[in-house]
Amino acid sequence: MSVGVVILRIQWPKIHSIEQIQNTEIYRNSRDYTNYTEHDKIKIIRYEGNIFYFCAEYFRETVYLQTGINPFDLNLKLNRCLNRIKRIENILRLSSQSMDIEIDKSDDHSNEIKSMEETPDPLEASNENHQKSNLNENYFKRKFFNHFIKKKLLTLNEKLELEMERTKLIEKLDTINQLITFNFIIFDCSCWTFMDIVGADELKQVIDSYEKLGIIVLLAQMKDINTGWLQTHVVSVSTSKCLE
């Protein structure tokens, strides 16, 4: 029985949010008190266990539950929206450029023919046929070029559909960003007495995933042995994130 309890506590440690008790400088588990001051822009999380290969995944999942945000999913949705918006903008830009090229080419051809017809100089009469043949050859080359350019041209309905899709994607981005209601996460690391390479890598991934959303992660009350180990093996966790 006792062995089972030890295994249970090691594999599934307690985790809870910490809030400030009203009119004090004391921070306690928000489940145990009702008269606490909630800071909207800050999440303080206390993980009462160690982070190693046996419970590293549990650490990540419970942190996501405590914060109410899964940064991996949000980053995936944000990247999909941004990539699709870029593709739509590129399609619209290429279509606009292709139309401009086609108009310029047709205007150039008309101007060249007009200039040939209006040339009064008799000295160039002997070369007129040769120049016209070259002009026609260039004209067919342009037609061949425009044949592929036209494939990029969009109809008015297609442009409207792309514009509407881009507008919806921008609105979706705003909705996703509204889910991010806080700017800081502070981990109370006072219970962390041991951490292996798997746990350190898991911690690094959690920190990186939140920081991609613009959320700053800080480590408080980290023991010296863990601080030195993290600085040696996990470059992204700097000393500025380890608070005394």
Any bridge partners for residue 217, and if so which? 185
CB 212 within 8 A of CB 75: yes
Q: Where are the alpha helices (DSSP H) in 45-186?
A: 56-67, 71-117, 128-149, 156-178
pLDDT of 170: 93
CA dihedral 222, 228, 232, 237 (to 10 degrees): 30
Q: What are phi and psi of 6, to 5 degrees?
A: -65, -45
pLDDT of 225: 76
- Convert 163-173 to b/e letters by CB count within 10 Å (16 or more is b): eeebeebeebe
pLDDT of 53: 83
pLDDT of 129: 57
Determine the Cα–Cα distance for residues 98 and 44; give it in Å rounded to an integer.
54
Determine the Cα–Cα distance for residues 203 and 211; give it in Å rounded to an integer.
12
CB 184 within 8 A of CB 215: yes
Tell me which CATH code domain 3-64+181-235 carries: 3.30.750.24
Any bridge partners for residue 18, and if so which? 29
What are the sequence ranges of the domains in the chain?
A: 3-64+181-235, 70-97+149-179
pLDDT of 239: 41
pLDDT per position in the chain (244 positions), as tens? 565 555 555 566 788 888 888 888 888 877 777 778 778 889 999 998 888 888 888 999 999 999 999 999 999 999 999 999 999 988 888 877 655 554 454 555 455 545 545 555 554 555 555 555 555 555 555 554 454 444 557 788 888 999 999 999 999 999 999 989 899 999 998 888 888 888 888 898 999 999 999 999 999 888 877 777 777 766 445 444 555 4
pLDDT of 175: 93
pLDDT of 6: 54
Determine the Cα–Cα distance for residues 97 and 100; give it in Å rounded to an integer.
5
- Closest by alpha carbon to 216, among 208, 224, 228? 208
- Work out whether strand 184-188 and strand 216-220 pair parallel, antiparallel, or are unpaired: parallel
Q: What is the pTM of this model?
A: 0.67
CB 71 within 8 A of CB 213: yes
pLDDT of 184: 94
Determine the Cα–Cα distance for residues 191 and 219; give it in Å rounded to an integer.
12
- Per-residue tokens: 147: 């044949």
